[in-house]
Homo-oligomer: A and B are copies of this chain.
Amino acid sequence: MPSISDKGKRMPASPIRKLVPYAEQASASGMKIYHLNIGQPDIPTPVEMLDAVHNIDFKVLEYSHSAGNESYRRKLATYYRHNGIEVEHTDLIVTTGGSEAITFGMMSCLDADDEIIIPEPFYANYNGFATAGNINVVPITASIESGFALPPISEFEKLITPKTKAIMICNPNNPTGYLYSLIELEALRDLVVKHDLFLFADEVYREFCYDGQKHTSILSIDGMEQNAIVIDSISKRYSACGARIGALVTRNKEVIATAMKFAQARLSPPTIEQIAAEAAVDVPDSYFEEVLERYTKRRDVLIEGLNNIPGVYCPNPGGAFYAVAKLPIDDSDVFCQWMLEEFNYDGKTVMMAPATGFYATHGLGKQEVRIAYVLKREDLIDALHVLEKALEVYPGRVEVEQEVLEAK
């Protein structure tokens, strides 16, 4: 029997999806599970998008342009300009989800054994895309005590080697919800320009900024036009995760030309979903205002509720719809599985993502979980109650350090 590749063996399993079999078993036994583990929003997809799909009137479902339909690219450029990002439709390639934009970006800019520095905890699938390209992820640890702010630039400097080709951030951050400030982004700009590195920013949660804070795109910051590459997606913006429509956006023409070769090899992104995505650009700002209001309430309920549980700490995230909380537990992988396999309160339990999968440094995240607040308010309140009861009886309880709890 022929053997699979070493790359295939190295490829990490998704930490977000690996608990799914236990959840399926719990579900099958009649348990009610609150899903705080995945970023699948429950907000309705805008009717403009669904109507566009209902109204398709072509007879042949043809390939689109490899860079995406020109009409959509032109429309998407207006979306960016509306958001203060001055780009033309030739500065972007429509991709099959943000995932493909990351792949195209990494493949175009990094070779095998090259290094990309990423603040951890980070979106776990960055590991997968890097592994696919034999690229080494070099983590730089952000701490829960600082609310997961950008680590000091001096710490980045220490990690830069001749193999370093890029830095990658996610802003607002998945999994921490941290929203990077203009000062932090300008510091990164100075760093990547000084060392001639690419700066990737995954900005798929751009619209999800709370407490009146504004998002700054790395494409809006002067002086790094050739370094800045934005990863984007309509998945979270319009609650359209299943569309698999994203974009790679950069003013660096060489990167666009190179990414186009990867785009041509896979022919085109999905045609019908591009039609939906084009209609989405006309969704009025009031849609986001409503969504924001709803998420802000959910966040407030969640963060307050978490910090009210004895021994738990969770910093208040400025954006996205995730938070990383520190729990009085020995091992988040064991705990999250125990929640599904052994625990229930009144026939209910909670599914969360162990934070270990979001750290590249082995051993970190053992007391942390990622919680997505994509459920309605009442469910969040009940889920918090179930979590509190679980922590009271979990056999592997290990207290969180006092100095962390004092940040409450």
Contacts and interface: CB of A to CB of B under 8 A. Distances in A.
Interface string A80-100: 000000000000000011011
A78 interface: no
Nearest to A49: B61
A43 interface: yes
A157 interface: no
A11 interface: yes
Interface string A255-297: 1001101101111111111001000000000000000000000
B50 A53 contact: no
Contacts of A269: 244
Interface residues of A, number: 82
A54 B52 CA distance: 9
A59 interface: yes
A196 B192 CA distance: 47
Contact of A241 (B66, B114, B198, B267): B267
A62 B44 contact: no
A296 to B, nearest CB: 20
A307 interface: no
Contacts of A100: 266
Contacts of A273: 270, 272-273
A226 B270 contact: no
Contacts of A109: 2, 4-5, 8
B43 A50 contact: no
Contacts of A49: 61
Most B-side CB within 10 Å, residue of A63, A112, A133: A63
Q: Which of A7, A107, A165 has the most CB of B within 10 A?
A: A7
Most buried by B among A42, A242, A258: A242
A197 interface: yes
Interface stretch (A12-20, A358-366, A396-404): A12-20
A230 to B, nearest CB: 15
Contacts of A192: 2
A243 interface: yes
A111 B7 contact: yes
Interface string A29-73: 000000000001111110001100110100111111010000000
Given A1-B196, A270-B96, A63 B241 contact: yes
Given A258-B4, A264-B17, A273-B273, A239 B60 contact: yes
A5 B59 CA distance: 41
A181 interface: no
Interface stretch (A124-132, A141-149, A211-219, A383-391): A124-132
Interface in A95-142: 96-97, 99-100, 103, 107-112, 114, 125, 128-129, 132-134
A42 to B, nearest CB: 7
A145 B94 CA distance: 42
Nearest to A243: B61
A169 B269 CA distance: 25
A108 B258 CA distance: 24
A122 to B, nearest CB: 13
B241 A111 contact: no
Contacts of A346: none
Nearest to A59: B44
